[in-house]
Structure formats: structure tokens, C-alpha cells
Amino acid sequence: MTLIQAILIAILQGATELFPVSSLGHAVIVPALLHWSLDPHGDTFLPFLVMLHLGTAVALLIFFWKDWSAIVQGLTGRDGTQRQAESIHIIALLVVATIPAVIIGGLLEHWLRALFGTARFAAIFLILNGALLLVTERIKSRERVHPDRAIAALTYADAAVIGLWQCLAFLPGISRSGATIIGGLLRNLNHEGAARFSFLMAQPVIIAATVREAFHLRHVDIPPGTMQIATIGAVIAAITALASTAFLMRYFHSHEQWALRPFGYYCLGIGAVAFVLLGH
């Protein structure tokens, strides 16, 4: 991997991990379109992948530091029993929402990615991702009679449903953030609330993936210079992810009526173009 390739992939990872457009789909499609001979599942790519995920996780922790700090302070009981119960409930919601991905990922992740891991399949699922975003936006716009809920008002059943939506992201081209935002919207969160819950969910998932990938590194002979490039990639991914998160949270707050539509049309267009180009 060259330094230019590393920088471009880091920017791509930092942005598409948070935008509802599928980081995995882009990681499969973009190198194929540019004819890069990179294997994102290969051992030589693993150190780079670990550092990219680490950079993204750090960026999310920095942005949502106040949220986590408030939750931890609530757990201590300093702000009263009501806040303590609310903090415990939010932590429990995040745990419940993560369980489906742990179970289904452990059983089916490698099989699904081996079966559908080609660039053309990623393009097809990217088109499906766009369609899901647009359909959900239409459904949400027709159901304004239901008041938007706060995250703390979610039930464990709501969290489990959102967690099941997250499992769609094991298919390359389906966005993890997009799927969980869809799940949140269908449980009557507004766009900003659904995005916040999605990004809070992302942090333990990304950290767990980083730890798992780092554990596998002990069996990998890392070529000279790889960690230097990976560190540069991590810093760039972190900066990009931090900027992306800040933009998205403001964007979802200001565009409640149609926030997912541009991403839906983008996925339809990019997926269709990639499918055609990769067929030649």
C-alpha cells in the first residue's frame, strides 16, 4: 500500500463509517474501480484496519465525551435516583442493542462476507441501502402523528429491534449507521435522536472489532514501514470521523423532514454506476 492509497482509504473510512452510505461497501467498491490490488481481508492489511478503527473510535469518544460523562455521573447517583435509573436504562439499551450483532456476527459474518464480498454484490447492496433510506424517509414523513421519543424512553424491545437492523451491515453495501438510524426512526426517534443512539451504539462495536483484529495481529508478520503508514491513516481517519460526526449531528438536527434522502439518492446512483462499470 502506498502512502497516497493509505490517506485516501483513511479519509474514506473516517467519513463513510458515520455517513449512512456503508464504509464496507466503499472499501470493496473503490479499490476495485481504481484497480488497486489490495485485499481488505488479507493479513498485510490487518494492521492498517486496526489503526483505522482505533482512530474512528477515538473520534467518537471525543465527540460524545459529554454524553458518556453524563451517563457515568448519573450512574454514581450524584444527580439523584431518577438520573441514576435513566443512566442505567440507557446503558442497558446499548447492551441489548449490541447483542444481536454479537450473536449473528459470530455465527454468520465470515460466511456472509465470503458469499457476498465481491464488488458487484457490494454495488447491489449499496443500491438496496439507498432504497431502504428513501422508503424509511417516506414512511417517517407520513407518520408525523406519532410524537418523537427521547432515547431514554426506548424500551428493551425497541433496542433489540434497532440491534437487529444493525445486523444488516454484515452485508457489504448496507450501512451500519444507516441501518441503525432506520431502526431508530421506525421506533419513533427523530433523526437527531436516532443518529445519536446509532453513534453511541457504534463505539462499543468498533472498539470490540479493534480489539478482535488486534488480537489476530499476534499471528501476523508485519512488513517494515506498515505501522508508520497505519498510524498516519489512524490520525487522518480520526480527524475525518470527528468532522463527519460534527457535521452529521448538526445536519440531522436541521433537516428533520428529509435528512436521509440525499444519502439514499447517492447510494442508488453510486451503486448503479459501480455495478455497470464493474460488469465490464
* Separation between Cα atoms, residue 273 and residue 277, nearest integer Å: 6
Q: Is pLDDT of 280 > 70?
A: no
**Cα(83)–Cα(196) distance, rounded to whole angstroms?**
19
Q: Which residues contact 39 (CB under 8 A, 6 or more apart)?
A: 45
232 and 4 Cβ atoms separated by less than 8 Å: no
Asked if 79 contacts 37 with a C-beta cutoff of 8 angstroms, the reply is: no
Closest CA relative to residue 23, chosen from 172, 128, 203: 172
Q: Give backbone dihedrals phi and psi of 189, rounded to 5 degrees, phi first.
A: -80, 155
Q: Are 183 and 161 in contact (CB under 8 A)?
A: yes
Q: Residue 41's pLDDT band (boundaries 50, 70, 90)?
A: low
Write down the domain spans for the chain.
3-278
Q: Are 229 and 6 in contact (CB under 8 A)?
A: yes
Specify which residues 189 forms β-bridges with: 149
Confidence label for 37 from pLDDT (cuts 50, 70 and 90): confident
Q: Which residue would you say has higher pLDDT here, 117 or 180?
A: 180
Categorize the per-residue pLDDT at 137 as very low, low, confident or very high, splitting at 50, 70 and 90. Answer: very high
Q: Is the pLDDT of residue 145 over 60?
A: no
